[in-house]
Structures are given as C-alpha cells and as structure tokens.
C-alpha cells in the first residue's frame, strides 16, 4: 500500500489492519482487558473530584468539514490537570503503592481511602516514583504522588517549556531537565531509577518493564468507557487518535474493539511529521525508531519510539496513519477557539487538536478523504486530550487566554 499525500500531510492506509469481523484476539486481550478496565474505572471513580469530562457535539464545524456529525471529548477539566493523562499516571502510582503496602502487611487488602487517610503514611513516604515526560504525564505522576503521599522525581528534556516544568513542580515533584529529546529522557529516568532504587511510572514499555504501563493504559480506559456511555453505545464511524508512544491509542483501540467488535469505528492514528514513529513503523511492518530532535508544536507527541506493547494492539487496530505539518495543529487550536455558528468553543492545546488538524489537512483532497472513508454521512470522534496546558503558548497561538475564550 502506497503513501498518499498533499501539501503538508501524508496518509498511509494500513494493509495489516485486522478484518472488521476478527475478534479481539486472546494474545491482545491478555494485555488490555475487561477486568483491567473495570478495576481502573471503579478505582478512579472513587477519587475526590472525579467527574466524567464533557463530550461536545460540533454541528457547525462538521458542516464546514463536509461531515455528518463531529464530536470532541474535552479533557480540559480532568481532575484540574487539563489532560486525560491524569487518569493513567496517578492510577499507576496508586497501584504501585497498593502492591507495596499489601506485600509488607501479609496481603491485607488496601483501598485508596486507606492511603488517602494516611493509614500507611510512613511506608508510602519511603517510596520514590519517577518518570520522563514532555509535560502532561509528569504532571499526572507528580499529582498522584502528592495525592497518595510518596516522593516523585520527574525528568524533562531540553525543549519542554518552562511553564510545563513549573506545572509539574507545583505538585511537589523534583523536576530535573536533561539533555537530548524525549526518548533520551526516558532512558535517563530508567537509569536513575535502577541506580537509586526508585520505581519508574511510564506509559511506554521496554524489555523487562510491562506491568506499570499496562496500569497506565487501563487508567486511560476510563475516558473510553465514558465515551461509550455518552455516545449511547452507538459507535461513531471514525475516531482520530493521537499517537506519541501509543499508550492512548492502544487503550482506545482495545476498549472500542472490546465494546463494538466488528462495528468498531475506523481508527486513524495522527502524528507530527518530525515524530512519526508509528507511520514509519506501519510502513515497515515492525517498530522503527525515528531519530533527531523530534521538535514539534504538538509537544505531547514528540516521541521517536513506539511502545512495544502499544504497537501490538495499534498495528492490528489502526485503519490508517496520518502525518501532519505543525501548521495544521495550530489551525486546529484556533478553529476550536473560534467556533462555527451553533458550536461552543473548545479550549485545546496543540496535541489535543491533532485529530481536528488531520481533518483540516485532508478536507480539500478527494483522494485523501476517500482513503480515510470520510464523507457527508461520517460521524467523527475527536479526542481533545488536553486543554491549555501551557497558558502562555495557548495565548500566543489564539491571541486570547482560555478564560477569555470560554467567557
């Protein structure tokens, strides 16, 4: 299958996508499964401040894009962290602490209420969690560590903005900037954890490290469970999902495949052109590492290596991959902020606007729309994965603050 392209956009229809009628295989269901998603949903729904985020219907924007319906899951209010990632990192922190406490106390059952109430304060305080981040994941891990009472050290790479660094530190984490790109910071965090006895809480897997990322992805599944309920269990025809290392995409694919089977939506994976590890891996039929600075305005997607675990799921579930020039992400942020007639404004960061960016980039190409099976009957779901996680960058793009947009 060849790559299709237009100005600033490339599309690769996935020839290896599983047939629509193929069941979610036993090998993949062992990775992300109903029991894991159920446990995460029960746990996270019990936390203080939990509420499902809003699913916004955007009929005006749908009309301008030549679509039947358009929905956006707005994660800007998630636990006050402005990102869906609050669901994954913090949940994995709790699961880690729960396991440590139970092991130290003869298997006694531990609840988050116990930990939040300080019952195991001294034991928890001896635990240090760490991660690498480009912003949102580190904020989730540091928030979870503060919430449950353990220590946290977060590593950021050289292009992470100062505002995103400060947002992580606000939750009590020690934030350390290291040389190189995101993938370099991942390796640095792993090395520091191994030498200091810390525990890595990452959403990407590597050899010998799998259980924690599975917890992270099951945590992300709370968003998909909310979507299934909000859509009235009627699947959209399409879902556009951001890639990065693939943890979110894998979680969404698994949840929708488990719920809807052969009726699951056409899944389109979106990446920036300088960090297109899934796009290149899909063409090669195996994981491919993308080198370079990975610099993109879509900061949350600046990843050059797929998570092997996520690849197992996404490579079978994704129907197409789209790679974009950064300008379309900026256009998407502005389109959300300046709504079409009848729509409400959505405050979205650059990464959160990736799905809309793909629609904007392909709207004038009949060939690309046909490749993505988009037409006037399509009901498209976008994942607004973040709000204004860097308020100054958001203001620079839109010309107004999030508060002004929503007012």
Do the Cβ atoms of 129 and 150 come closer than 8 Å?
Answer: yes
Instruction: State the Cα torsion 206-212-215-217 to the nearest 10°.
Output: -30
- Rounded Cα–Cα distance for residues 332 and 352 (Å): 9
The structure tokens listed for 227 are 């979507």
- Rounded Cα–Cα distance for residues 389 and 321 (Å): 26
Is 73 catalytic? The answer is no
Beta partners for residue 152, in sequence order: 129
Which is catalytic among the residues 73, 82, 85, 98? 85
Q: What is the enclosing helix (H) or strand (E) of 41?
A: helix 34-45
- Rounded Cα–Cα distance for residues 136 and 200 (Å): 16
- Rounded Cα–Cα distance for residues 143 and 47 (Å): 13
Is 234 catalytic? The answer is no
Which is catalytic among the residues 134, 183, 203, 388? 134
The structure tokens listed for 170 are 């606000």
Nearest Cα neighbor of 53 from 28, 27, 72 is 72
Helices and strands, number each (H, E), in the chain:
18, 12
Catalytic amino acids? 85, 134
């Amino acid at each position: 299958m060849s790559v299709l392209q237009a100005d600033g956009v490339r599309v690769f229809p996935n020839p290896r996508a599983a047939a629509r009628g193929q069941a979610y295989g036993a090998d993949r269901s062992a990775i992300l499964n109903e029991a894991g998603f159920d446990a995460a949903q029960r746990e996270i729904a019990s936390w203080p401040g939990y509420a499902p985020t809003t699913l916004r219907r955007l009929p005006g924007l749908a009309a301008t894009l030549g679509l039947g319906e358009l929905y956006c899951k707005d994660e800007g209010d998630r636990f006050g962290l402005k990102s869906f990632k609050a669901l994954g990192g913090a949940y994995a922190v709790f699961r880690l602490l729960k396991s440590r406490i139970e092991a130290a106390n003869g298997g006694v059952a531990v609840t988050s209420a116990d930990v939040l109430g300080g019952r195991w304060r001294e034991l928890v305080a001896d635990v240090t969690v760490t991660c690498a981040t480009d912003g949102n994941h580190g904020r989730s891990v540091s928030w979870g560590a503060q919430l449950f009472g353990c220590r946290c050290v977060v590593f950021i790479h050289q292009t992470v903005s100062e505002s995103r660094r400060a947002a992580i530190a606000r939750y009590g984490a020690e934030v350390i900037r290291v040389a190189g790109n995101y993938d370099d910071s991942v390796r640095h965090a792993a090395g520091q954890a191994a030498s200091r006895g810390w525990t890595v809480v990452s959403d990407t897997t590597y050899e010998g490290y799998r259980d924690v990322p599975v917890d992270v992805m099951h945590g992300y599944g709370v968003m998909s469970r909310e979507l299934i309920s909000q859509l009235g269990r009627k699947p959209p025809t399409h879902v556009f999902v951001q890639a990065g290392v693939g943890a979110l995409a894998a979680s969404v694919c698994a949840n929708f495949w488990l719920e809807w089977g052969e009726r699951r939506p056409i899944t389109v994976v979106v990446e920036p052109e300088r960090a297109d590890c899934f796009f290149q891996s899909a063409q090669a039929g195996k994981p491919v590492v993308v080198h370079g600075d990975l610099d993109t305005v879509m900061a949350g997607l600046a990843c050059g290596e797929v998570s092997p675990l996520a690849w197992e799921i996404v490579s079978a579930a994704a129907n197409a991959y789209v790679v974009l020039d950064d300008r379309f992400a900026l256009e998407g942020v502005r389109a959300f902020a300046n709504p079409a007639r009848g729509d409400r404004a959505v405050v979205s960061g650059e990464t959160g606007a990736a799905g809309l960016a793909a629609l904007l980039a392909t709207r004038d190409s009949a060939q690309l729309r046909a490749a993505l099976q988009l037409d006037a009957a399509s009901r498209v779901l976008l994942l607004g994965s973040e709000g204004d996680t860097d308020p100054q960058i958001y203001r620079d793009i839109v010309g107004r603050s999030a508060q002004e947009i929503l007012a």
